[in-house]
């Protein structure tokens, strides 16, 4: 028996309603994004620009986590900063610039939502502020690294027991021989101090977390060179010059560190 004319519109309405209910719902907003520029830094102290957008209903507890290595678990961040440190944070978009130290491991960044009800006053940072929670990840960045073969970093000058000497210490990514060349003129750097190299390993650390997979950081290779024959009462400073890794100006003598 064929359906009556009155029943046909009803059946069509049911089919249309079912099809509509099966269609995926359209998102009212885009997902949060997190980008970094650049993705490779040249040396320690260089700055990365971290930008985010599409954070819905921004909260002054939303925060940025700093991670190294990039595959660290959420609660193993090595630093954090609240998004409200950016002037435009309330719009759901903003940016933060951070200088980074070369840890000989890549970095990554993540943004989280943290609510007032999740604040735990028993878990505090070194400044006695509550540590932010990691239950609600909003977005994460691509990894960031440092360029290889950039020569000495983290240069430090120190006294020795002799008034006419200065110790030049620095870090490098490998144990290849390095030295400090110095002299009274840049064109006549005839004096050479071979830099002694040392390194410590995870087993040398006394206890966790420093000797665990979470707390251990590759220290690099520590170089120590002593320059001699210096005069009293003259200031020393480290400067960077085009085409030369580092130059130390000391008592009218120029001292150059070679990679």
Tokens representing residue 247 in the block: 């130059």
Structure tokens at 58: 């921004």
34-59 exposure pattern, b = at least 16 Cβ within 10 A, e = fewer: bebeeeebebeeeebebbbbebeebb
The 3-state DSSP class for residue 127 equals coil
pLDDT tens track for 69-89: 999 999 999 999 999 999 999
Higher model confidence: residue 130 or residue 27? 130
Whole-number pLDDT of residue 163: 85
Model confidence pLDDT, tens digit, residues 189-215: 677 888 899 998 888 888 887 777 777
Residues 115-168 pLDDT 10s: 999 999 999 988 999 999 999 999 999 999 999 876 678 888 888 999 888 898
Q: How confident is the model at residue 108 (pLDDT cuts 50, 70, 90)?
A: very high
Domains of the chain: 33-146 (2.60.40), 153-258 (2.60.40.380)
Name the nearest CA neighbour of 192 among 237, 245, 229, 160: 229
At 43, the pLDDT band (50, 70, 90 cuts) reads confident
Report the range of poorest mean pLDDT among 5-9, 89-93, 130-134.
5-9
216/239 Cα distance (integer angstroms): 31
Tokens in use for 230? Answer: 């210096």
Backbone angles phi, psi at 251, to 5 degrees: 55, 40
CA 146 to chain centre: 10
pLDDT reading at 5 higher than 60 = no
Q: Is the pLDDT of residue 259 over 50?
A: yes
């Amino acid at each position: 028996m064929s359906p009556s004319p009155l029943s046909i519109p009803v059946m069509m309405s049911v089919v249309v309603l079912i099809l509509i209910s099966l269609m995926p719902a359209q998102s009212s907003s885009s997902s949060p994004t997190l980008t970094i520029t650049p993705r490779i830094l040249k040396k320690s102290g260089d700055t990365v620009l971290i930008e985010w957008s599409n954070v819905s209903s921004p909260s002054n507890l939303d925060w940025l986590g700093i991670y190294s290595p990039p595959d660290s678990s959420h609660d193993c961040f090595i630093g954090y900063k609240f998004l409200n440190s950016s002037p435009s944070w309330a719009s759901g978009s903003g940016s933060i610039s951070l200088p980074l130290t070369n840890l000989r491991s890549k970095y990554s960044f993540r943004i989280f939502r943290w609510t007032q009800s999740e604040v735990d006053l028993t878990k505090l940072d070194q400044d006695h502020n509550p540590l932010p929670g990691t239950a609600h990840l909003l977005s994460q960045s691509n990894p960031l690294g440092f360029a290889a073969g950039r020569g000495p970093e983290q240069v430090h000058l120190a006294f020795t027991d002799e008034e006419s000497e200065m110790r030049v210490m620095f870090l490098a990514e490998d144990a290849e021989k390095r030295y400090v060349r110095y002299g009274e003129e840049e064109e006549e750097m005839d004096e050479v101090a071979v830099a002694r190299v040392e390194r410590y390993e995870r087993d040398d650390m006394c206890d966790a977390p420093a000797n665990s997979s979470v707390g251990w950081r590759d220290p690099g290779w520590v170089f120590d060179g002593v320059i001699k024959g210096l005069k009293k009462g003259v200031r020393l400073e480290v400067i960077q010059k085009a085409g030369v890794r580092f130059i130390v100006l000391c008592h009218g003598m120029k001292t150059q560190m070679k990679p």
